[in-house]
Structure 1
Amino acid sequence: LLIASILSIMNRAGVPTPSPSIVGKADLDLALIGNCSYGALIDKLGTVKWCCLPRFDGDPVFCSLLRRTNDIGFYEISLEGFSHSKQHYVRNTGVLKTELYNKNGDGIEITDFAPRFMMFGRAYRPIMLIRIVRPLAGHPRIRVRIRPTFGYGWGSPEKTRGTNHIRYLLPNFAIRVTTNAPISYIVDEVLFEVTETTTFALMPDESLKESLHEIATSYLDKTVDYWHEYSRVLSIPFEWQEQVIRSCIALKMCSFEETGAMMASITSSIPVSPKAQGYDLRFCWLRDSSNIIHTLNKLGSTNNMEDFLKYISNIVGSSESKDGHLQPVYGIALETSLYEKEMHRLAGYRGLGPVRVGNKDYKLLQNDVYGHVIL
């Protein structure tokens, strides 16, 4: 799944995408953004289809990727009279740009990113999704629909409104979307004309200490600089440089930097074929992660190796109470019991359920795990 996602990401070169009526069923041609604290998947129309908060293995706030109906579980910015789109990453970064156009020639650009940069000598990676909408041509009118869920699609949270924000009261925590757009337009999901740059910041329920525009602009510049610096120090071959860099960035965004864990995927229950079952892959398989870490280390991304060794050290230390037994897979915060259960509120990708949470592979005995830990 990760390889397929990377190949899909590498193929983004601004090729126009037709309207939703032509596209048909949902697919996995999704762009990944993230900052090693959380990740989100965005389709070519600029809609957030999957995002778990406050961690990669958390309850999906946006889960329309696995829903049969497209009524809740997404974050959409749509253009009136939409006809086609273009999408690409800012070169050698994790910053995504989506351009939407209609038949009248009106157009907008959506910039999506998860802030990540160095602050006070350490990586600053807040739980924040920033979306910047800029008019490109004509008099574009957009509709913003923000419909988070909880309980793996069980329901929609209560929401309250402030002067410049909307608060969504999830069971375990609250999130807010702060914007300089008229709040009534967002709450009522009505069309409105974009005449200037409009910014949206989805984050935990905390007040911003600076103006939204200043924060978004500053965080964008610093995030671009971070990814450029990350890419600059990679030891990559002369051939296929763009593809290798893009793959390294995608793999970097699949790491949970807080503990050093490397996930197999940020999604759950995506089957590899129509007849295969899907599983929750938001965990760290020691064998697979070791191979990925060694590859990144050879390419010069050494921080991942250092963080992963700390993660392994904690696992080995915890295993002493279990006669040194190592599981093949652990949670991203060292969880050992990954009880698997089915979430029937979600139909699964293209209806190919069931959707699973947890993974029973933690019960397996795989002796090659010890060799990978040692090497």
Structure 2
Amino acid sequence: MAIYMLNLVVVSVCGYMAEVTKRFDEEKNRYKYKIIFIIVAALSLILVSGFRYKVGTDFTQYSEYIIYYDNSFDGIFNEAGFAILLNISRAITENPQLFFMITSIIVNVCVITFLIKNTDNMFLSLYFYITTFMFYLTMNGVRQYIASVIVMLGYRALVEGNFKKYLIYVGAAFTFHSTVIFMIPVYFIARKRIDSVWNIGIFFFAIMAMLFYGEFIEILFELLKDTRFAYYKEIFLDGSGANPIRIIVWMAPVVLIFMYKDRARKVFGENVDIVVNLCYLGSIFMILASKQVFFARMCMYFDGYYLLLLPKLCSMFEEKTNKFMTALIMVAYLGYSLLLLRSREAWISPYNYNLQLF
């Protein structure tokens, strides 16, 4: 776990230095950061993730794909983008370690780019990228996380109401994981007010799905019966739920924002509805994950927006209160990440590495 702690320190220090030396670029209407600090933070994230060895629940599975993949789009995957990525990696070497380095570069560069364009506090966003456990979970569900971060890059299109441009990002992500098609209706839901009838309806739908879980799964998989996801039905009926602490952590920031929505609107401005709605939808899936942990995989499409929400949550009150809130939230998330690491959540720890890429 020492590597993880060193990574947290390096990334946090670089994020802090980037934050205190930033200047506002009026031409692009966003903050401009010292590139050297961003590069060092990105390198630390990329190297820790890229050199991981037998870390994460999917490591062995993806390693086998690299070794045995037969270059057929009709084989293991239907998503062309990921199949092409596999072929490129195998054309260079059949050592799976290169594949993990490539995917690490894609995911972390996309996350850093997303933050450069959208966060108001690079230090806190990078800190929470690690301590919310998002960074560690990018080492699992590799295909889906690539799709997730590609859609995250379309956030500005979502804010600006440019649906056609947003569709381009979803289309690119679709070539890596077909479940991202779900993010098309999310575009319209996210642009509603946080206190809209839609959100109330979604919440009650989640409660009903929890109360009548068996019937809900029967209906859901009746809709999916002709898809490649149909075989998951028995897993969803017999599986176990997500760690309750993860559910609480996902819900708490959203509940706080709803409690102080007028104050949040002043801090966030016109984007408050979009950011909060995206986090709210992720928390709904995490509620469903209390019945079956597989629902938590849909949270991959939403956890990146907490990197915008949490820094804002730290600046919603008076200056003295904000300092206390910032310290409290930072300590709470550090404790949360350490707890999950110590419990070996998703096989993220212990950390092992392999420096041989070829």
TM-score (norm. length: structure 1): 0.23
- Whose relative contact order is higher, 1 or 2, with alpha carbons under 8 Å and at least 6 apart? 2
TM-score (norm. length: structure 2): 0.24
**Structure showing the higher strand proportion among its residues:** 1
